Amino acid sequence: MIKHELILFEKEIKEFWTKFKSICGSEHVNQTLGLRESCKESIKALSEKWSKKLKEGDLMIDKIQEYRNEILQQNICIEEKQENLTEINSKIKHEEEQKRDFIDRIQELKEELTRKKEIISTKNKATKERLERLSKSKELFEERLGLEIRRIYDEQLQFIFRCIDHKDPDKPYTFTLSINEQGDYEVTSSSPPLDCIAELQLKVRETNNFAAFIANIRKAFTALSYK
């Protein structure tokens, strides 16, 4: 733009000089010749100056555009990293939630295990107390009912009756008793088998009258011996 204006200005100067030369004599021409040359040099210097500035301006524009492109690429890179960071944060949050759920589940299992241990401990204590009471009654049963009580495997008690068969007083009649997981009496075996054992077992669970239970089983064995 400026360079074009300088060219037009120089052209106008030349046209002016031609007209001036045709009007004025050689004498005036010689006087103004120095002025013309000085003006041309000034115009040339000005033209070179502005031409240089124009080149610098073009370089500056190119540099600015280059900076803009770099900033654009950096912004794109930042957006991509921001998306990656958001995704990573989401994964971390999800993993933390899973971790909290896992910790809560572990705590629940621990509490459940503690409750089960307490229940088992209570049942074991009750079973032990019952077995101890049964053991303390051993001498009484042996003396009055001809009964022998033995502790066998798995904390079970074996009851051996004698003096039932009048033909063979030493013949043993036995049944095995345990305490199940619910804390109830449970007959696990009987020799010889008794058809009424389930009924007697249910009755002792309802009444908790163990002495009557033993007496009723002896009666059942005695009745069986007469068949």
The beta strand positions in the chain, using DSSP E, are 147-152, 156-161, 173-179, 185-191
SS3 for 178? strand
- Structural domains counted in the chain: 1
| Minimum mean pLDDT range among 33-37, 68-72, 186-190 | 33-37
- Asked if residues 172 and 162 have their Cβ atoms less than 8 Å apart, the reply is yes
**Residue 162: which CATH number?**
3.30.457.50
> Which domain, by its residues, includes 216?
146-226
Query: Pick from 139, 179, 135, 173: which is nearest to 156 by CA?
Result: 179
State the pLDDT at residue 77.
83
Q: Is residue 211 part of a domain?
A: yes
Token representation of residue 157: 């008690």
Sign, CA torsion 145/149/155/156? negative
In tens, the pLDDT along 109-130 reads 888 888 888 777 776 676 677 6
pTM to 2 decimal places: 0.42
In sequence order, the 6+-apart residues with CB closer than 8 A to the CB of 176 are 152, 156, 157, 158, 159, 187, 188, 189, 190
Cβ atoms of 175 and 197 closer than 8 Å: yes
End-to-end CA distance of the chain: 138
49: in domain: no
Predicted confidence at residue 206, as pLDDT, reads 94
Burial class of residue 165, CB neighbours in 10 A (0-12, 13-18, 19+): middle
Summarised one tens digit per residue, pLDDT across range 187-196 is 999 999 999 9
Separation of CA 61 from chain center: 55
| pLDDT score at 144 | 67
